[in-house]
A and B are shown apart, each in its own frame.
Chain A
Amino acid sequence: MCDIAPDLRKGKIRMNCFLNVVFGDGRMQYKEQRMANTLGNLDEDDGIPVHLKGGIADALLYRATMILTVGGTIYAIYQLALASFPKKQG
């Protein structure tokens, strides 16, 4: 019912129709505001890849993940080297 020849790029059209049917105009504006403000401008053609497009929080989380994975890999290889040459007992 709310899929008027859906232009899927414009998610807001889908949502507006749904909200209008269920809530009427007043609530629609409030909900639209909430949804639009949830993230930065994901629609903008600014060349930023999707995993960084949400802003500074994305970049921080990405860096933390990379540091942990790459650092962890180095640590794992170090432990492997350590375990490969067991120290003699006594």
Chain B
Amino acid sequence: MTHQTHAYHMVNPSPWPLTGALSALLLTSGLVMWFHFNTSLLLLMGLTTNMLTMYQWWRDIVRESTFQGHHTPIVQKGLRYGMILFIVSEVFFFSGFFWAFYHSSLAPTPELGGYWPPAGITPLNPMEVPLLNTSVLLASGVSITWAHHSLMEGNRMHMMQALLITILLGLYFTFLQASEYYETPFTISDGVYGSTFFMATGFHGLHVIIGSTFLIVCYLRQLNYHFTSNHHFGFEAAAWYWHFVDVVWLFLYVSIYWWGS
């Protein structure tokens, strides 16, 4: 009988890395077809196969951990490192957009009128919906901490209430931001102001949607008794990601909405 002489989890051969890579090909080539030839079939196939891959890959991880018990403390440590490194990579991703914003706004060119916000741009009032959005995300940071402590203390009802509040706040943020997007007097095409504004806030909004989805999955798992009071890394990873999203918003609010107006 064979046995491994190391502590790490060697997963069963899986088709999902391949389908994931192929779905990325379909997404990118699909975008090209949509932009240049006005057909969306490839893009649709890309989105579908991407969703299918993510669903099945993460479903398998839940099976390996919750149902097969492969996530020992050492394996979990590796997962922690992995999530931390992923979030660090996302920090660098957003740094690029902040760099672009500061590059253009600290030394506004003559074409912009030599000042920021540029000539012709009416920025959003930072004391209105953007401030509400800030309070919504900060509150969601509090509620997710409450959820975590409830989970650690074995308080099932409180954990689910707090997690639900967090999710609802996240959805509320998305709704508010979407309505702001509808109301802005400027568009992404309005010079470098529009570009930096919508690229930075747009990707942030996408991350809020991703984070909310992650939290909803955690909620469903909690409903099905997957988490224990001291083994719930999926929830912790979601919480880390959510705090990251919150911090990015704080930088966005201070830099683009407040200082940038």
Contacts and interface: CB of A to CB of B under 8 A. Distances in A.
Interface of A: 1-3, 6-11, 14-15, 18-19, 21-22, 31, 35, 38-39, 42-43, 49-51, 53-54, 61-62, 64-66, 68-73, 75-76, 79-80, 83
Contacts of A18: 154, 225, 228-229
Contacts of B22: 69-70, 72-73
B225 A3 contact: no
B37 A83 contact: yes
Interface string B211-248: 00000000000001100111100000000000000000
Given A51-B12, A65-B19, A1 B225 contact: no
B45 interface: yes
A37 B8 CA distance: 29
Given A7-B69, A11-B66, 19 more contacts: A2-B154, A6-B231, A8-B70, A8-B231, A11-B67, A18-B154, A18-B229, A35-B224, A50-B60, A50-B68, A51-B16, A53-B63, A61-B56, A62-B56, A69-B26, A69-B49, A72-B26, A73-B25, A83-B37
Contacts, number: 114
Decide if the interface of chain A is mainly helix, strand, loop or mixed: helix
Contacts of A7: 69
B95 interface: no
Nearest to A82: B37
A81 to B, nearest CB: 12
Given A10-B69, A42-B67, A65-B49, A50 B11 contact: yes
Given A42-B63, A73-B26, A79-B33, A51 B56 contact: yes
A86 B241 CA distance: 46
Nearest to B21: A69
B67 A43 contact: yes
B201 interface: no
A64 B15 CA distance: 12
Given A3-B228, A76-B42, A69 B71 contact: no
B13 A49 contact: yes
Contacts of B19: 65-66, 69
Nearest to A23: B156
B53 A22 contact: no
A80 B29 contact: yes
B48 interface: yes
B48 A68 contact: yes
Given A50-B64, A50-B68, A51-B14, A22 B26 contact: no
Contacts of A83: 36-37
Contact of B225 (A31, A65, A66, A71): A31
